[in-house]
Amino acid sequence: MNRTRLRSTAALVLLPALALTACGSGVTPGAAPAGAQASPAPTDDPVATVRTVNSVAALLPADVRASGTLRIGSSVGFPPGAYYPNGPGKAPAGQDIDIADAVAKVLGVGLDRQDASFETILPALGSGKYDVGTGNFGVTTQRLKTVDFVTYIDDGQGFAVKKGSTAVKKKVTDLTQLCGLTIGTGAGTTFESTLAAQKDICAEAGRKPYDVKVYSENGATLTALQQGRIDVIMSTINGLRYQAAQPAAQTTFLGEYHRLDVGFAFKKGSPLTKAFRAAVDELIKNGTYARILKKWGTSASAIDASRINPPEHR
């Protein structure tokens, strides 16, 4: 999947989620960009009826069952993944928040949620600071070398332009369609990695290269688009689709470019992965998963079953 240093504004700005490095997000506190406004959270609460499933909880290590708590590093950035509908310092909301809370209830544990910038979470898993990380982390070949994943949604990379723009007139299927344009994306994301890896594609086609500008805040990226300093945004599919549905954002979603599985992240060899996979599968089986995705408008990204460390989509 995934979704940047977003610590989060309640802005209706949804950019990369997931350092995507897949879908990675990150937001630093600050004012909302021009044209953005707070996005109230849906009132439906599909997590409320979730109960502990003893056979799944039994898959947790004994020390975790005894403590009854898991430390989760959470990157809160933008809807629909995770954001602050009532402003920083208030309770976060979003698809990732609901899924994590529902998984914890199936496992019979509480979550000690600690806000963290996207790029700090994966290294902190290795040091033991967190038991699990969320932030629209996309599953990539590179990340699988050092991190274990338990998937819960299928998101990925997409593009958007300012409403009315003719810079890109159709769905982006080849990066040569962006030659000569300025692309804005999140720092440390898979979006940035993808653009860097194919930086010579325009020259090889005899065309002017595209320029890439990276931002550490979602709001800054959207503002740059609104002010004409960039032509295109590259970010998460679900984030950009959600953003385009908000009239204040004044953007047009250009469609999917590359799909990525998104998952909970763990240090390599973590004993928690089997329990988390079983918990996600339980939520899929009992219908809670579908209700969460419907609540946040992400049903098109549903998975049929959770997987541990699937290969990156090609």
User: What pLDDT score was predicted for residue 43?
Assistant: 86
The reported pLDDT for the residue numbered 197 is: 93
Whether 271 shows a pLDDT value over 50: the answer reads: yes
Distance CA 42, CA 193 (A): 34
User: Does 241 score more than 50 pLDDT?
Assistant: yes
**Percent of the chain with pLDDT strictly greater than 90:** 71
Question: Whole-model pTM?
Answer: 0.83
Lowest mean pLDDT, pick from 20-34, 47-61, 113-127, 288-302: 20-34
The answer to whether residue 11 scores a pLDDT higher than 60 is no
What is the pLDDT, as a whole number, of residue 39? 65
Measured CA to CA, the distance from residue 97 to residue 249 in angstroms comes to 23
Residue with more model confidence, 256 or 77: 256
Could you give the angle at which helices 95-107 and 273-286 cross, rounded to 10 degrees? 110
Q: What pLDDT shows up at residue 6? A: 33
pLDDT at 152 over 80: yes
CA distance 48 to 191: 35
Output the pLDDT for position 89.
Answer: 83
Q: To 10 degrees, what angle do helices 288-296 and 273-286 make?
A: 80
pLDDT at residue 2 tops 70: no
Mean pLDDT, the chain, rounded, equals 87
Q: What is the Cα–Cα distance from 193 to 247, expressed in whole angstroms?
A: 30
* pLDDT of the residue at 313: 84
- Look at residue 132 and tell me whether its pLDDT is greater than 90: yes
What contacts 255, CB < 8 A, 6 or more positions away? 158, 159, 171, 172
Please tell me the least confidently modeled range out of 30-44, 117-131, 293-307.
30-44
Backbone angles phi, psi at 131, to 5 degrees: -85, -30
Structure tokens at 194: 């993808």
**Residue range 223-247: average pLDDT?**
94
Q: Cα dist. 312→21, 112, 140, 216 in Å?
A: 11, 30, 5, 25
Q: Where does residue 304 rank: exposed (0-12), middle (13-18), buried (19+ CB within 10 A)?
A: exposed
pLDDT tens per residue across span 167-226: 998 999 999 999 999 999 987 778 898 999 999 999 999 999 999 999 877 778 999 999
Rg (CA), the chain: 19
Q: How large a percentage of the chain has pLDDT more than 70? A: 88
